[in-house]
Every structure is written in structure tokens, then in C-alpha cells.
Amino acid sequence: MINRKGACMMPAQSCIKEIMQKYIDGFNGKDASVVYMLFSDNAKIEDPVGGGRTVEGR
């Protein structure tokens, strides 16, 4: 189950799949607002392929 902010209420496999599908749909649909809401305020993204750049926060 996902709450209104897109956060998983419990870390069950079905919840993880649901969140991943939301991410994939948002990414493929070029809907940044959907992707954005799936990240926490202190998210950290590391890109080892793109030069090792790290992005923190939303």
C-alpha cells in the first residue's frame, strides 16, 4: 500500500513492485512530478557511469 505521497506503508514485495512501477511509468511518461514524489528529502543518487556525480536531496 502506498500513501498519498507515494511512500510505502510497509516494505512488502508488492509495495516495492508498486513503487518501482510508478517510477518506471513516470520516467517513461516524462512526468518529473511523479518521479520527484517518490524520493525523500534526503535522497542520494550516485551515478557511477556518468562520471561519478552524486546528487543529494530532491
Rounded Cα gap, residues 48 and 13, in angstroms? 27
Supply the pLDDT for residue 1.
Answer: 52
Rounded Cα gap, residues 17 and 21, in angstroms? 6
Kindly report the pTM of this predicted structure.
0.62
Supply the pLDDT for residue 22.
Answer: 92
Residue 57 banded pLDDT, cuts 50, 70, 90: confident
User: Which grid coordinates belong to 5?
Assistant: 505521497
Q: What residue segments make up the domains of the chain, in order of their start?
A: 13-56
The answer to whether 6 and 19 are in contact (CB under 8 A) is: yes
Helical spans, DSSP H, in the chain: 13-28, 32-37
